[in-house]
Structure 1
Amino acid sequence: NYKAPHLISSFPGKLGMAQARISARLPPDVDPTKAPVAFGERALPKLNEELRSPELLTRQRALMALCDLVHDPENVCQAVHLGFLDNLKTLLLDHDSTVRQKSTEVLYIMAMHNVGRHGFIQNGVIPAMAQLLDDPVDICRKNTHQTFEMMAKLPEGAVGILHAGLIPSLVFKLKTELDEIQELILDTLTNCLCVEAFEALASGAVTILKQKLTHSSVAIRSKAARVLLGISTHPEGKKMVCEEDVIPVLVRLLEDTEPEVQASATGALMFATVTPQGKYSALGAEAIPPLLKLVAGETSKARLSAIKTLTMLAELPEGRKTLLDHVDTFQLCLNDPSEAVKRAAKIAIRVIKWKPF
């Protein structure tokens, strides 16, 4: 049986550099011909039988045909009803790498449909797919993480990932996985943290995410900051972000060349500075000048978060004293087309101008 190596191909990166991307191409010695699909209502039941075939080529062909059919949500609904998911869970552990690749691809496509995601929750697909986190074939792992990322978009799916005990493994994989897969893991963690942050914090997520804030990939820097934003919405998370000295790194990202990174970092900083410890840490890292730049920037995606963060820093006497010289910057925001920005600017001006009795 064919043992696929890490299937990698190169495409031009953003800066013209060759960038490794995971390829879904099948091995050259595997017959790519799809299984003859039966007509009408018999199509899916016939493929379901062929998934259980002892013949390797029959299983491969059935999976390739199935990949096409499950793009239709009606077929996904029927597949769930016919018990396909139990067969696919079995095939996830098949000795043949192509069978595992196509099985994970089928499940990923099914996860794009709401009916598929609900079927996964009811049939325990998440714990079954977790067995592929260490699969030697890159595309199998990528399909698995794409599925988890889709599942986490559904609150019940995020709960399912948490209940399967996957958070510590996902956090650990941020240290070892390919960049392309790290991006998927960060997206999954972002949605799971909306439900619960304890396991991520207990797994050392803050330390690992701090390292990712200086990654060469724009997407990874931005997504890591967004996960830290989610962590900072929880009281324990705010505390840990301060203790791990993450705030100075976030402040440096306020001057990142990428607007997405700036916006994510500002959002994380906004939540972290809710606490007195966070405020003093931000002031100590000299956050006010770069935050004012974001407020004054013509197309800043981070303007609203920057105004709110500066408002919290103005609650400290040192912050208010510095910001009194920059009230004009906030007054310009009163003409902003966004009602939220106008409202935030009014509050900021009021807080900055406040005087104790």
Structure 2
Amino acid sequence: MSDIFAIYTHSYLQARSSSVNPRIINRCVNLARTEATVADISYFEPPWFRVTSEQPDIPSENADVTRRPLAFGSWALPKLRRELHDSDDFVVIQALLSLCDLIHDPERAYEALQLKIPDRLADKLLDPLPPVRESSVLLLSLFARLADGKEAIVKNKEILENLYLTLGDEQISIRLKSAACIELVSRSWMAADVLVETGLIETLLELIEKDEPSDILEYHLKSLKCLMYECGKCIALKHDGFKIFMKLLNHEKSSIVCKALDCLAILTSTKKGKKLAIEKNLLKTLTKLIHYGDTDMCKSAASVIMFCTVKTRAKILAAEIKSLAKRLIRLSTNPLNVALQMFSIKALTNICEHPLVRKEVYDRYLNELTQMQVDPTNAEYKKTLLQIVSWVPYKSE
């Protein structure tokens, strides 16, 4: 693409023919012109910066958005809307990129919503040209930053169907932008209801099982985290979501593991999820993560342990893992991360209801727990933990 702020004469030709001396290119262009040329500011050494582009109109495989005619004022968006379905593909690409520049302004974005420009993008999502598909998804992502934009996207069933199809596009960049767009839309609970009803959870779970790049995978997990509430949890469990998330715990990228743990925390808050955690022996895997993972991974793993150890059978399994209670105590005494401390204290409270764990913690770590510094929001959780640890079920007279 050419640059509107190019400071050298004929910078486009110089960039395309880097092996030729720039002075030769300048002289050749001057000789080819029919009219006499006047020395301008770009002839100086060093050249001055230009205000506008003066590059020649040379056909190329790229669409130069800086050279397209654009209306201003109240006529700009209607003109661009008409150009979205122009017969010239370059005009369509230029219109899409110009809209992407304008929609960053919230006032222009709401004006575009009134003109129903998102509805005009439905068929462009499946255009044969990859640049058109990519720019269309990018433009929808800009609309998805607004509440009304999310609503406009989910109200159009054709947009949703075609947007789901772009998740399997052959171009990685399009799949990435499509995943980011859906993640933005799923943040709104009103839009998330529609996404769940249209089967997005099942689609994302199928895509996660494929060999997707980590960046795309991370967006899919973020979207699932927003969608898995109420009936969304049951849908994910029904389509082997628990098994899929457990596989991701062995992923080489820590951020992917953290997102998978966050999704598991949502599933283990259900009755069926707690049962699956016991059957899959999830506690052993979580114990490794809180020992060798970073702070974010420990926080996410502790949240899953908190939900996994509610049932009696899970407390028995936790008591068999000797290093679990000790590690949770170490994490509980860290006041620098409030969320990590809260999850660790609550998980420790659950497993301390087992008599053997409670006795070990009381004999070896009671003084450490009593003196640990906690955030004011975690003070009540600390009080409950100390009550459980100090509780004696039977005291002889």
Mapped partners of 2:216, 2:80: distance in 1: 31
8 A Cα contact 2:348 2:385, kept in partner: yes
Shift of 1:36: 2.5
Normalising to structure 2: TM-score of the pair? 0.79
8 A Cα contact 1:210 1:249, kept in partner: no
Shift of 1:123: 2.4
- Tell me what 2:367 maps to: 328
8 A Cα contact 1:73 1:115, kept in partner: no
- Tell me what 1:225 maps to: 261
| Aligned: 1:177 with 2:209 | no
- Tell me what 1:46 maps to: 79
Which amino acid counterpart does residue 103 of structure 1 have in structure 2?
S
1:279 corresponds, among 301, 315, 319, to: 315
Mapped partners of 1:247, 1:80: distance in 2: 49
1:166 corresponds, among 200, 219, 222, to: 200
2:135 corresponds, among 76, 95, 102, to: 102
Mapped partners of 1:151, 1:284: distance in 2: 44
Mapped partners of 2:252, 2:146: distance in 1: 34
Mapped partners of 1:72, 1:123: distance in 2: 23
Shift of 1:178: 0.7
- Tell me what 1:292 maps to: 329
Which amino acid counterpart does residue 166 of structure 1 have in structure 2?
L
Quote the sequence identity (%). Answer: 26
- Within-5 A mapping of 1:197-236: 197-236=233-272
8 A Cα contact 1:324 1:353, kept in partner: yes
Shift of 1:102: 0.3
SS at structure 1 position matched to 2:122: helix
Shift of 1:121: 2.2
1:60 corresponds, among 76, 93, 112, to: 93
Which amino acid counterpart does residue 152 of structure 1 have in structure 2?
S
Mapped partners of 2:200, 2:246: distance in 1: 21
- Tell me what 1:32 maps to: 64
- Tell me what 2:156 maps to: 123
Which amino acid counterpart does residue 349 of structure 1 have in structure 2?
L
8 A Cα contact 1:152 1:161, kept in partner: yes
Mapped partners of 2:336, 2:278: distance in 1: 30
| Aligned: 1:248 with 2:248 | no
- List alignment gaps of at least 5 residues for structure 2: 1-59
Mapped partners of 1:51, 1:170: distance in 2: 30
- Tell me what 1:6 maps to: none
Q: Is the deviation greater in 297-306 or in 36-45?
A: 297-306
Which amino acid counterpart does residue 367 of structure 2 have in structure 1?
D
Mapped partners of 1:299, 1:250: distance in 2: 22
8 A Cα contact 1:225 1:264, kept in partner: yes
Q: Is the deviation greater in 138-147 or in 119-128?
A: 119-128
Q: Which of structures 1 and 2 has the bigger CA Rg?
A: 2
8 A Cα contact 2:103 2:142, kept in partner: yes
Mapped partners of 2:171, 2:213: distance in 1: 12
Mapped partners of 1:169, 1:155: distance in 2: 19
Shift of 1:298: 5.4
8 A Cα contact 2:125 2:137, kept in partner: yes
- Tell me what 1:18 maps to: none
Shift of 1:29: 2.6
Report Cα offsets for 1:183-226 as digits up to 9, x if no partner: 11111111111342011111211112112112111111111111
SS at structure 1 position matched to 2:250: coil
| Aligned: 1:317 with 2:355 | yes
SS at structure 2 position matched to 1:151: helix
Mapped partners of 1:184, 1:259: distance in 2: 21
Which amino acid counterpart does residue 346 of structure 2 have in structure 1?
K
SS at structure 1 position matched to 2:69: coil
SS at structure 1 position matched to 2:212: coil
Shift of 1:319: 2.1
SS at structure 2 position matched to 1:213: helix
Mapped partners of 1:58, 1:136: distance in 2: 24
Mapped partners of 1:131, 1:295: distance in 2: 45
Aligned positions, number: 328
Q: Is the deviation greater in 163-172 or in 102-111?
A: 163-172
Which amino acid counterpart does residue 63 of structure 1 have in structure 2?
L
- Within-5 A mapping of 1:59-98: 59-98=92-131
Backbone CA RMSD of aligned residues:
1.7
- Tell me what 1:347 maps to: 384
Q: Is the deviation greater in 286-295 or in 63-72?
A: 286-295
Normalising to structure 1: TM-score of the pair? 0.87
